[in-house]
Structure 1
């Protein structure tokens, strides 16, 4: 269809009445796309605000829980803050959207440019569009409308601003520029589709919400850097933020697909507005000119910056752009470069400027239709309007001044300390530009064969570029026939086909139709690799013809020059060698740099680089560094001939062109700075290579022309009138990069990176599932926090099932658990054993703090304060053994943090259960006898016999007069319930008192009745009197029943009492593994034996069962802050006696450390005097009593007070150790050890330590070794 139009003005063409309305009626596809886009955006916005609202509601609920129950308020408060953070994180973009102006814009006003504004206002009125709110000029090949965005723009229309790119103005005639601007106004002339404007603005808002990064992200990054303990917390927050963004982005991709379809329809509609105002051809012609305009403008900007580098200012970059457009058309031999084909007089509606490509980008993500689609749309109803060819600059006032001001803006990014530029007139700049674009290789007679082609990279040596057999006689004027132009054009066309096919095979483009035709053959989708192979084969054939032509040309000219003499053949060969060096070296550097960028892009695709990724980037970087370094090292081997030096206008030679190389190798520490600098180094090095390559090629062609002219004249002339300059030289060996040998790039990200970026169906689905799962988990966790939390502490030696407000959990012995409880004033609680026996049941009122249930009040509780920095010490607070309390402690039944961030000091209150202490220590923490008796009987009744402390609780229950009767009844009851429990039967023997004989008679009778029962045999032997005969009976029984742990334990104990630690090891280890009730004691003993025998212990295997071992080992290694008293024994163990004393100068441990230090090797007399002056009751315990005795004996101090203390602690062992020390003082040495026979093994160890103090170097070496290894640092003095 063709519509006639007439032009009534040279400025604006008038369209027929109603044409605008007819052409821009929304199509069905437009309406469908708009509805889908609106629905998608509404769904997205609802999802987004629903998530944000849920987070804020969760924060509100958590605050209510904290206020109502006060339970674990800190962490619930943290949870509330986190939920509020996530909610605000999602809403902050909505609340603060304001799009800044794009960079590089210069605003103009109607006062400054009245003609331009009159034109724009008239055009906007014709299009039925709002007039632009503000108008900006830019140095981009672009024209666009952009907006001031805010939340209100979802309801009210946003104000539109217009950008006009002056490089576009420079290349388009007025009629075509009018079409481009009419298209921009056309976006807002679609008044019947006002919802489209809403969708467009909403899409901009949604994009801002998803992709914006601001102080919220900076806060999380900074939070992780404040303290290592906050790093995990920050990482978890970042994980949730990542999940939210990923989920929103996945949802938004669907919206983008819908919006892209709408955007393409809107572009088509806007094109029709331009068609209705300017005709069908103007916009199509403008689109055709854009590629050339972009290319020429990029070259013009490069020229301007290149001149600035030479300290010359370019006055008018737009004149440079125009000049480049003209020259490139000639160089490319393309009459349509920057020009448009003439519209035929007949059937103009069928004329097409753009051709359909068989490979097209995926339409799903396209926001603009392809050019051939836009042309078909513009000419579907053909509107012929003459295109006004007046310069578009006629719209501007003072265009020359404007062009100069905008050119100056191109150099606004120069450093502040950059040297000033010399003013250069336009003619000089254009003359300089002409020198670059009038080089010999660009001449039309060469048919474009030297443009964009590597001439030497297909050979390994420059000498292969010349072949004597190809130097046949011939006419040089026939070397560049018209057929050569066809080959060059065919090669470029094949390269374009190859690129399209590679995009199709790689999946980055879509096939237009079901098949393609290549060289007359049809290829379907599955045959695309074969089509690509065919195109590459055709390219190789054309390239082979061109290379054969190159070989013939070079060979003929070199051979002819050789015949003419004067050294010109060597000169030509030198230029060829230089070309070979420059092309290979530049290609190698550029390829290595591209490989580095590829590796960097791949490894940084997810914004986080692993150690392996850093190593990969570093490896590629240093490979590039090696090439650069080699080029600079070889700079002295490159010599340019005199004519080339003159052509390049050099003051020096190659080395001066390159300069000095002082770039260090890439290291992990400098990698960021290195990557920022390497582009400049590569750019400089390749720039020098390209400049010399271009000059060498030009010199080669000019010299060949001279040779051909001389050969044609056949007589002496300018060529032979003088000798050729000294030829150029290159290094004998340098790195090569043949065509096809480029480093392989990684074209697909790894699975993890594709997952993070959601590239591909499977990774995108997996990321959606992961992100959705995390968000669902967070939302679910928030919904679960509507209840307060009860902390249950089980101090009993048996597992307990606790029921609170209908919720129940099982708590292991000496463990804690948490249960949800309603935030109400009273609670119902009950505790049961694992087999369902009721321990207690009661109702409890709200505790007014963090609710804590100490099961049956079975363990004493302690509230203490951890201090940090300069905070003062706070006394511990004994709470007794309450079963229900409300705690305001910061930490419940857990370790407080080792460090906190505080400038002036800080504290953390800790509620701790004391069930892990020995029973003797627990009862001392209780406030009165009644409470002690209650707790003792509670444990005696409920604790499992497998627990290490059960026997002691039973002994307490039987041994205390006030509980003996109840204890005896409990023991009897438990024996009746478990008649074969060895722990209970041992306890029955030990607690029998006057009834011991009767109990033993019963046990012996049972053993005789069951002669194969090893446990009963053990119990019967245990009733026999101690002595060698009984020891032998135990050994004999152990041989009969080697797998009975009780018998093995008895044998091991006998060996230990006799000092045979090596023989006892296996028995102790066996008993440790088989007897849980003895595991703690035996683990410590085995650790001592291992240290004695091997010099080390298996701490990982032994420490879990023995709290005492963990404590002794921690003291030996030292723990706490640098100056903490807990590091004193570690200093003592190293012989740093003064440091050990200094660390305990102000603490109760001072007297104990002083006694051990005074007894140490190397102790000073003053220290010894201070220790001997201590009252006998200070610093005295099992580990210090005997060294105090030995120190007093050694220095003649009274010994009696210490012996009294030893008698109270060691009982029957005291006389033996005293006798042993007397024998040592008497000089009996090793012989004195027999006095320790039958002594408790730990008493023996302490006796060795005291003997070393007393005898010093005269003591046997075995005692020294035993003392140092059997005892830990806190149990002995320092011995060398």
Structure 2
């Protein structure tokens, strides 16, 4: 199959090749510099030793020689670096085990005119990818790729969608014109290795420096010179990588076109739109079981549970089913994104789903499709799911063995937990990212609006438009302050240069002011809607809950500051600090620690604490509160006590935020009950 690459692809390929060429020139110049410097260091060291043989000249000469060797090794160390992918999380499969899957891959390989993978693996998650164990020499020698397919992807795809996703992966390697991408990839790895991946190099220098005070001087000189070389390479990394990312985005479009020609535009589009829901569902299952570790509970099959969660969210969001899977529409995937600001993310390796889908729809390639579940390609997919689940949970350490939850138990507990940790759907996400307005007052002349009008799609969009405008303002201020460097950007359909960004601020501020007034008016109408309820007991309950949340909201910043203060006071532990200073710092910490303990104590005494923390965490915090712990003794940190301090510090913000959430949820539940009672009264 031959697909003509776009003009944008050609343009970005040329730009990437130019960047590689410039890097090669810069690298050669740096290499020649280090060769000359190394020769001078080694020659000078030898001459010094020969000229006047004695201990001092021997050490100085050896130091100079060592400096030359280390600087030269730094510039060529990437040649000896081989990238080996960790495969412990992968499960290899072969043709004998899964002939139908391999038959599909054979078809894709034939149509894309590329090589069959060296090995094929199953992974835990919701994606597919190609990888290889590569080194610098991979740029010149042929190397075979390996394919990984996520079981979470197979579980939530049709056969046609899986074929489209795999065709996309092979599409990256289907033409010679794609080879430039691998060159840029390898150049980036070389620069990354030189600039960032130098732990073993630094350890070697430190070991050398520790041999003698003389060597430590030369070690400092070596590090100084290599840091200057790294500075140059860091600039080159940005220069090459920006062009690499631009090319990568074009390669994604090209691979999509290959996939569309093989499996059809619709199959890839539907997979792209569902993959976020499938991935979130998978992660919700993992997060659920994280909370079950202390109870020694695990899963027999997380993929069955992934399907349960995905269907639960589909039902919650009124998604239709298509071919047995939730059909996510493009309009629904970006429902709350109201930003008017469009910036091409020069560091993004993938274009947005919206951009990819627009191009797929423009191609509109129709193919005969097989809409059976992708898991039907496997001989016994249930066994595979259970095998990978067991492998995943084998890494978890349970105290007293473990018990697998039955699927119906998982479903019940997950839905109950989700209900506890989310606001009722009746509010239409109005309060998901905003709090009630605590400045509102009773107004007998308020509009007589219905509940559905107060929480209509239009009112919800006001909230998310406000959020988008505030974020847009921050981004444009970053452009003005040159924190975000770019030449042009689009706003509300018009193109602006970075110099023109300042004139947008008054416009955005006016829009924020106008929408804020509309939201405040709606919040006032909401408040008056509920206090106009004829049930005096329910109305009183609503007003009390509203005031309690308002009071806690006022205290929230003050409570948060306790954490900020103690975090700042303990920051010294992350740096080298003199023993006397450490002891003094812990003395200074005592008053702040008392504030922290006093702040935590009411939460531990609350009847709801067991809902937020497991039994061991509660025990640890009570031990921390009841004891005077020593954090530094005999010139060393007391690790076990410090761990308790850190746990208390890090748990405290969680506790105050959970209390805020619970109080807010209580208020909204009362509002829901009032709405239900009001509706029943009208019926009667």
The answer (yes or no) to whether the contact 1:132–1:160 under 8 Å persists in 2 is: yes
- Show the counterpart of 1:916: none
**In the alignment, structure 1 residue 633 sits paired with structure 2 residue 596:** no
Per-residue CA deviation, residues 833-857 of structure 1 (Å, 9 max, x unaligned), is xxxxxxxxxxxxxxxxxxxxxxxxx
Do residues 502 (structure 1) and 477 (structure 2) align? no
- 1:108 & 1:354 partners in 2: Cα distance? 41
Secondary structure, in 3 states, of the residue corresponding to 2:367?
coil
- Are 1:285 and 2:270 matched, yes or no? yes
Q: CA deviation at 1:148?
A: 0.8
Q: Report the counterpart of residue 272 of structure 1 in structure 2.
A: 257
Matched, 1:341 2:329: yes
RMSD: 5.0
Q: Secondary structure at the match of 1:58?
A: helix
Which one of the candidate residues 402, 416, 423 is aligned to 2:384? Answer: 402
Residue 359 in 1 paired to residue 341 in 2?
yes
C-alpha deviations, 1:482-507, integer Å up to 9, x for none?
75332113312331343234223213
Query: How far apart, in 2, do the equivalents of 1:651 and 1:340 lie?
Result: 36
CA gap 1:388/1:49 in 2 versus in 1, 3 angstroms: farther
Normalising by the residue count of structure 1, what TM-score does the alignment of the two structures yield? 0.45
CA contact (8 A) 2:209 2:215 kept: yes
Structure-2 separation of matches of 1:148 and 1:305: 32
Aligned counterparts, 1:217-296, within 5 A: 217-222=202-207, 232-296=217-281
The one of 552, 560, 579 equivalent to 2:528 is 552
Say if 2:49 is the partner of 1:81: no
**Who is 1:431 aligned against?**
412
Q: Partners of 1:651 and 1:55 in 2: how far apart?
A: 61
**SS state of the match for residue 383, structure 1?**
coil
2:16 and 2:63 mapped to 1: Cα distance? 44
Q: CA deviation at 1:145?
A: 1.5
1:176-195 correspondence to structure 2 within 5 Å: 176-195=161-180
Change (3 A) 1:313 1:595: farther
CA separation in 2, counterparts of 1:452 and 1:96? 47
In the other structure, the counterpart of 1:454 is 435
**Deviations, residues 909-945 of structure 1 (Å, cap 9, x unaligned):** xxxxxxxxxxxxxxxxxxxxxxxxxxxxxxxxxxxxx
Q: Does structure 2 retain, via aligned residues, the 8 Å contact 1:44–1:255?
A: no
Q: Aligned in 2, Cα 1:514/1:306: closer, same or farther, shift over 3 Å?
A: closer
Give the whole-Å Cα distance in 1 for the aligned partners of 2:222 and 2:131: 35
Shift of 1:68: 4.9
Instruction: Call closer, same or farther: CA 1:539–1:682 in 2, change over 3 Å.
Output: farther
Is contact 1:86-1:241 (8 Å) kept?
A: yes
Deviation at 1:327, TM superposition (A): 4.0
Report the Cα distance in structure 2 between the residues aligned to 1:42 and 1:202, rounded to whole angstroms.
9
For the structure 1 residues 185 and 70, does the alpha-carbon distance in structure 2 shift closer, same or farther, using more than 3 Å as the test? farther
Task: Give the stretch that moved more between structures: 367-376 or 159-168.
Answer: 367-376
SS in 1 for 2:165: helix
Shift in CA distance, 614/224, structure 1 to aligned 2, threshold 3 Å = farther
- Deviation track 1:1145-1184 (CA, whole Å, cap 9, x = no partner) reads xxxxxxxxxxxxxxxxxxxxxxxxxxxxxxxxxxxxxxxx
Q: Name the SS of the counterpart of 1:21 in structure 2.
A: coil
Give the C-alpha shift of residue 403 in structure 1.
2.4
Change in CA separation of 1:371 and 1:97 when aligned onto 2, cut-off 3 Å:
same
Q: Distance in 2 between matches of 1:184 and 1:289?
A: 18
**CA apart distance, 1:188:** 0.9
Please give the alpha-carbon distance, in whole angstroms, between the structure 2 residues aligned to 1:529 and 1:421.
57
Q: Which has the higher contact order (CA 8 A, sep 6+)?
A: 2
Q: Which residue of 1 aligns with 2:465?
A: 493
Match of 1:92 among 77, 82, 107: 77
Structure 1 partner of 2:36: 54
- Cα 1:631–1:406 change in 2 (3 A) is farther
TM-score where L is the length of structure 2: 0.79
CA distance in 2, matches of 1:287, 1:354: 18
Q: How far is the alpha carbon of 1:153 from its aligned partner?
A: 1.0
Q: In the alignment, does 2:505 pair up with 1:529? A: yes
Cα distance, 1:233 vs. partner? 4.7
Equivalence map 1:410-429=2 (5 Å):
410-415=392-397, 418-429=399-410
Query: CA contact under 8 A between 1:320 and 1:433: conserved in structure 2?
Result: no
Is the CA contact 2:171–2:256 (under 8 Å) kept in the aligned structure 1?
A: yes
For the residue of structure 2 that corresponds to 1:162, the secondary structure is strand
**SS of 2:3 mapped into structure 1:** helix
Q: Is the CA contact 1:618–1:671 (under 8 Å) kept in the aligned structure 2?
A: no
State the distance in 1 between where 2:339 and 2:676 align. Answer: 46
Distance 1:171 1:47 in 2: 52
Give the one of 128, 131, 137 matched to 2:122.
Answer: 137
Question: Aligned-pair distance for 1:364?
Answer: 3.9
User: Is the radius of gyration larger for structure 1 or structure 2?
Assistant: 1
Mapping of 1:358-377 within 5 angstroms? 358-360=340-342, 363-377=345-359
Q: Could you say if the C-alpha distance between residues 708 and 81 of structure 1 is closer, same or farther in structure 2, counting changes exceeding 3 Å?
A: closer
Report how far residue 428 of structure 1 moved.
0.2
| Gap runs ≥5 in structure 1 | 1-19, 344-351, 563-567, 715-1280
Confirm or deny: 8 A CA contact 1:514 1:525 kept in the other structure.
Answer: no
Conservation of the 8 A alpha-carbon contact between 1:24 and 1:190: no
1:443 to partner: Cα distance: 4.0
> In 2 relative to 1, CA 713–424 (structure 1 residues): closer, same or farther, beyond 3 Å?
closer
TM superposition shift of 1:156: 0.6
Counterparts of 1:196 and 1:355, CA distance in 2: 32
The whole-number CA distance in structure 2 between the counterparts of 1:581 and 1:154 is 64
Question: How far off its partner does 1:677 sit?
Answer: 6.5
CA-CA distance at 1:185 after TM superposition: 0.8
Does structure 1 retain, via aligned residues, the 8 Å contact 2:338–2:465?
A: no
Note the 1:622-701 alignment, pairs <5 A: 628-635=596-603, 659-662=622-625, 680-681=647-648, 684-685=651-652, 687-688=654-655, 700-701=667-668
Residue number among 213, 222, 245 corresponding to 2:198 in the alignment: 213
In structure 1, distance between residues paired with 2:445 and 2:606 = 28
Aligned position for 1:540: 516
Matched, 1:445 2:417: no
Contact 2:340–2:472, Cα closer than 8 Å, also in 1:
yes
Task: Tell me the CA shift for residue 431 of structure 1.
Answer: 0.8
Tell me the SS of whatever aligns to 2:147. Answer: strand
Match of 1:127 among 112, 127, 151: 112
Q: CA deviation at 1:538?
A: 4.1
Tell me if structure 1 keeps the 8 A contact 2:171–2:254.
yes
Structure 1 143/674 Cα, relative in aligned 2: closer, same or farther at 3 Å? farther
Partner Cα separation in structure 2 for residue 509 and residue 397 of structure 1: 53
**1:207 offset after TM fit, Å?**
2.8
* SS of match in other structure, 2:270: helix
Distance 1:243 1:657 in 2: 48
Match of 2:375 in 1: 393
Q: Which residue matches 2:144?
A: 159
Deviations 1:623-666 (A, max 9, x none): 98666423323348x755xxx899x69999x9999755449698
**Residue segments in structure 2 that go unaligned for 5+ positions in a row:** none
